[in-house]
Structure 1
Amino acid sequence: MGDTALIIIAVAVAILVLFLVILIVKMMKTVDEINRTIGVVTQDADVLLKQADTLMGKTNTLLEDINGKVATIDPLFTAVAELSDSVSRLNHTGNTFATRMKSTASNAGKATAVVTLGRGASKLFTKRKKKAEEKKK
């Protein structure tokens, strides 16, 4: 009976070893595939990093160019703002002047009417005075 038990244990150990060998072989294939994938990803990452570095360099060059152009036209924007302010002040002054002229014209019209009335009264007074002098003679 002891020999049978040893044979059963030996067969069980052999089956266990066989399953472990199969498992280890599959794991080695998986590890090899992982290593290949890591290699491909590393190469792709290197390419992407080089492209990103080139893109960043071109972007920096473009930004420097834009900053230079903005600095060049910045005085133009300042001049346009100052011109706009001047035109606004000129417009305000023109409106004020027109309002004063309208008021002055209205007052001048009234003054003209008074002067005309005064002249008419003066002529009438002069005519009456002459008639009075002629009657005395």
Structure 2
Amino acid sequence: MTGGEIAALIAAVAFAVLVVFLVIVLLKVSKIMGEVSDTVKEANSSLRVITKDADNLLIEVEGLLNKSNTTLDDVNGKLGKTDPLFQAIGDLGVSVSNLNSSTRNLTDRVTGVTKRTAQTGVVTKVGKTAMNMNRKRKNKKDSE
């Protein structure tokens, strides 16, 4: 065997080893790609189920929101109808407060007039009594 033949034989063996390693790597990559493909299929299946469930939930949530909006509008309308009632209650409170103030003022005036009248009555009685006594004295002097 010549040197060229030995070199060709070494190159052929090296190429064969390289091909064997490439085949092993390609088989492993093929196996990994199969597993990735299965995982992607499962993920897609899960996403379809989740999407379907989410769509159903969104439809139900939209219905609930519509009912909530209707109920809220109804409550707001009914509360709006009570505004005049609370206004009337507030006005009644002001009227009662004014009535209390007027009653207090009237009571103070009546009490003041009563005190003055009582004082005037006592003074008048004392004055009349004094005048009567004075007349009696004059009459006594005149009769003497």
Partners of 1:33 and 1:99 in 2: how far apart? Answer: 93
Cα offset, 1:100, TM superposition: 2.2
1:70 to 70, 79, 91: 79
Identity across the alignment (%)? 32
2:104 corresponding residue in structure 1: 95
Question: What runs of 5+ residues in structure 1 fail to find an aligned partner?
Answer: none
TM normalised by structure 1 equals 0.91
Counterpart in the other structure of 2:27? 18
**What is the deviation of 1:122?**
1.4
Q: Which residue of 1 aligns with 2:52?
A: 43
Cα root mean square deviation, aligned: 1.3
Give unmatched runs, 5+ long, in structure 2.
1-9
SS at match of 1:31: helix
Tell me how far apart the structure 2 counterparts of residues 120 and 40 of structure 1 sit (CA, whole Å).
Answer: 115
Shift of 1:129: 2.0
Residue 80 of structure 1 is matched in structure 2 by 89
Where do 4+ consecutive residues of structure 1 move more than 6 Å? none
TM-score w.r.t. structure 2 length?
0.87
Aligned length, in residue pairs: 135
Match of 2:4 in 1: none
Residues 36-71 of structure 1: per-residue CA shift (max 9 Å, x gap): 111111111111111111111111111121122112
- State the AA in 1 paired with 2:119: K
Larger radius of gyration: 2
